[in-house]
Amino acid sequence: MLGLAWSTLRARKAGFAGAFTALLCAAALIAACGVLLETGLRGGIPTERYTGTPIVVTADQNLHWTKHKKGKEKTKSKPLTERAWLDAATASRLEGLPGVRAVVPELTFPATVFTAEGGPLEGPHDGPSWGHAWDSAVLTPFTLTAGAPPAGPGDVVLDAELAARAGAAVGTEVTVQSTAAPKTYRVTGIAAPDGRDGLSRQSALFFAAPEAARLAGHPGQVAALGLLPLPGTDTGDLAEAAEAALAGTTAKVRTGDERGPVEFLDAGKARVTLISLGGALGGTSLLVAIIVVAGAFALSLQQRRREFALLRAVGATPQQIRRMVGIEAVVIGLVAGGLGAFAGLGLAGWLHTRFVAVGAMPRTLEVAYSPFPLLAAVLATLAAAWAAARIAVRRPARIRPTEALAEAAIDPGRVGAARTLVGVLLLIGYVVLLVVLRNLHIEPAATPVMFLSVVLAAIAVAVLGPLLARGALALMSVPMRLVSPVGGRLAAGNSRARPRHVAAVVTPLTLAIAMTSTIFFGQTTTAHAAETQVSAGTDADYVLASAGPGVPAAAVDAVRAVPGVAGATEIVRTTVRAGQDKFPAQGVTTAGLDAMVDLGTTAGSLADLTEGTVAISESARRIKGASVGDDLEVTLGDGVKVRLRIVAVYERGLGFGDLTMPHDLLSAHVDNPLAEQVLVRTDSPATEQALDAATAAFPGLRVLDRSEAEAVRKDQQGTQAQVNLVAMGLIIAFTAIAVVNTLVMATSARGREFALMRLVGMTRPQIMRMLRWETLATVVLASVFGAAIASATLSAYAKGMTGSGTPYAPPLACAAILAAAAALAVTATVLPARLMLRANPADAISVRD
């Protein structure tokens, strides 16, 4: 069997090219997703600021909870969404340890340098810009290359790279905004890390200790403590002693590679995101790959029915044919899987670059490469190839030789009872998933189910394809014959005579249309619903926004003092947890809130929102089973737990966040306490010019009217859409390749058929018209099936996420998807056909099948 399989592979290279291409792309996609997943699990986060400090002590940056399952307790943890600060008194526990030279407190807070034009200074590495106390410069260590340390509240030292970008020198002045109003500082010195020109992944500004403490805004707390050992001290022993001294506290001792994640907290959070993204993307990719590979092998084996019939006629047993096809699949899978897996490494690198470019992943998180994703891709490809081939060869291998010869000439189009039952069960499973999807109200839970639903429906179409194609083609054949008596009649007869062939080419096109529509319109549905809720629920006349870290309280006070301004509401946003559930939250100025925004209150009143209270969305209410008057324990971004009384429930959570609480409560527990935006309402003609004048002293602030604010919000939504498209665009590209691959395979196998048509008198134009009609029928069927799947799936998704069962699908976008599908189908059919029709028909018909 091995020799026969190898001979077949050598003789039918073109016939196996389609299956090889499908497996190659599948392996590349799976390997790339595996690299993303591994990066989330163990991607490197090298330290930069703490390179000179072997031991760093911080607060626990994870939230922990105990999960009970089957009588067993299991502790789980997730990174906090904001920095957890450490009690400064912790230093006293460490200062007396043997081998400790110094315990250095570290303060870390946002600090942005503004240009002369009033915009934030941007750097080549696009990294964060942090402020620190000069006392902690020794942790890197930084040393002065010019000037002197900061001594007073108006002094600052810049790192060398930042100073070069800002064009600053000792004695010049720079405007810096941190957690308060922008302030002008005098540059007293320029510093650089020992042995380096500057920091490559962040910018550093150093202030005098009292000024740094004021800007950090966490009195009595520090971001970290650095332990500097005496010469000759064993770092491991000192770390163990520190852990013993800190027993019973929430402080954590970090050494080696553990220092990077606490320096770059955003990279640690990105790991969690990559794990969920890589898992979801990898799972969806694997399912799509199975469909595509199974379809490619099924079509390839359909084209070999004459070969299998002859083998059965000369005495080959079903087991021998199955073994031969299995060996062929393993060989193709091994070669394609190996090449595709290595191609997946390049694809993973490209994905990392794109994620960094759109802000989904920080540069500080390094991609983790290892043999495991490659091995997983090859094994998955081998398994998919072997299983697809064995399933597809079942019928050709088991039927009697006489039946095999008959079916080699005529496609029976019959679908067995077992296959029909499987297809019906798949449809039932799809309906069950739709019911589940209608009851999912948070995007991380709903999105994977949405994609799984599409894949399950596509598998059902593949299984029931011949039945569906036969019924649909029976309806379409009449108009095809009427409109085109020659080309349409031939196309209708051809298609109805070969329902299995039609189903094989319709399935990948259906999957492409359904998956692309779901990816695009799932985003537009939630984005449009959020935009509608914000637009309908915002009663402000103007919005204050900042190009820098945020809007300072001093600017808000200046706006409130403008004649005609009736109120100004500060808004700060973060993510919190209630139990194990994660919710987007906003902190708002409570005074006059009900006149500034309309959250669509369904119970209680926003007027009751005061200290110690919270308002929740309908989605959060359903998830937590809470109502007005109940207490809700909320874990804030920095891990602090508070118990809040629910005073209102509202509908517009998609646009405003699931939890709304007082501004002062939330801003005290986020890394950046500045308002993300400020809503301004006027009760008399307070002009935009007056507001501009009031905020002129604050660099980077802009006064936006409602239309400008909506434009900014759409830009922000567009950025998030880019992240999703980068992630799911690979699946779209894969399905597009599968469509082209399948159609080229199907068309290229018809060389003898075209030659026979020409020998009996048909012209090239007549054959091309027939092919165009066949392609049109394929596109129409796939469009109907794909649109039906996408519509049902998106309706269920919209019902759960927005409360309305109507998805938002712009007509032009729908038309573009269908036009792209049609263009792919026409191109992949017409070009191979034109090439084959150039050959002499007498030569073409004599070519070995």
State the Cα–Cα distance between residues 738 and 354, nearest whole angstrom: 24
State the Cα–Cα distance between residues 580 and 569, nearest whole angstrom: 30
Closest CA to 125 of 58, 38, 48, 178: 48
State the Cα–Cα distance between residues 280 and 463, nearest whole angstrom: 24
The pLDDT score that the predictor gives to residue 50 is 93
**CB within 8 A of 496, min separation 6: which ones?**
470, 473, 474, 477
The pLDDT score that the predictor gives to residue 138 is 94
Residue the block writes with tokens 């409602």:
706
Instruction: Report which residue type is found at 846.
Output: S
State the Cα–Cα distance between residues 336 and 465, nearest whole angstrom: 28
* 646 burial via Cβ count (<10 Å: 0-12, 13-18, 19+): buried
HEC string for 727-749 = HHHHHHHHHHHHHHHHHHHHHHC
Within a 10 A sphere around the Cβ of 812, how many other Cβ atoms? Answer: 8
> What b/e sequence results for 362-392 when a residue is b if at least 16 CB atoms lie within 10 Å of its CB, and e otherwise?
bebbebbeeeebbebbbebbbbbbbbbbbeb
**CB within 8 A of 772, min separation 6: which ones?**
487, 826, 830
The terminus-to-terminus CA distance of the chain in angstroms comes to 21
Q: Is 70 left (phi over 0), alpha (psi -120 to 50) or beta?
A: left
The pLDDT score that the predictor gives to residue 429 is 94
The pLDDT score that the predictor gives to residue 245 is 93
The pLDDT score that the predictor gives to residue 640 is 93
> What b/e sequence results for 790-801 when a residue is b if at least 16 CB atoms lie within 10 Å of its CB, and e otherwise?
bbbbbbbbbbbb
The pLDDT score that the predictor gives to residue 723 is 66
Cis peptide upstream of residue 46 (ω within 30 degrees of 0)? no
> Residue 607 to residues 95, 495, 827: CA-CA distances in angstroms?
50, 67, 62
State the Cα–Cα distance between residues 350 and 31, nearest whole angstrom: 13
State the Cα–Cα distance between residues 392 and 290, nearest whole angstrom: 13
The one-character DSSP state at 607 is G
The pLDDT score that the predictor gives to residue 208 is 96
**DSSP string covering 336-387, please?**
HHHHHHHHHHHHHHHHHHHHHHTTSS-TTSPPP--HHHHHHHHHHHHHHHHH
State the Cα–Cα distance between residues 448 and 444, nearest whole angstrom: 7
Closest CA to 670 of 176, 249, 45, 110: 110
Q: Which residues of the chain have pLDDT under 50?
A: 408
The pLDDT score that the predictor gives to residue 479 is 79
**CB within 8 A of 582, min separation 6: which ones?**
442, 444, 575, 576
Query: What is the pTM (predicted TM-score) of this model?
Result: 0.83
The pLDDT score that the predictor gives to residue 527 is 87
Q: Is 625 left (phi over 0), alpha (psi -120 to 50) or beta?
A: left
Answer for the pair 745, 508: CB distance below 8 angstroms, yes or no.
no
**DSSP string covering 769-821, please?**
HHHHHHHHHHHHHHHHHHHHHHHHHHHHHHHHHHS-S-----HHHHHHHHHHH
**DSSP string covering 694-710, please?**
HHTTSTTEEEEEHHHHH
State the Cα–Cα distance between residues 681 and 565, nearest whole angstrom: 6
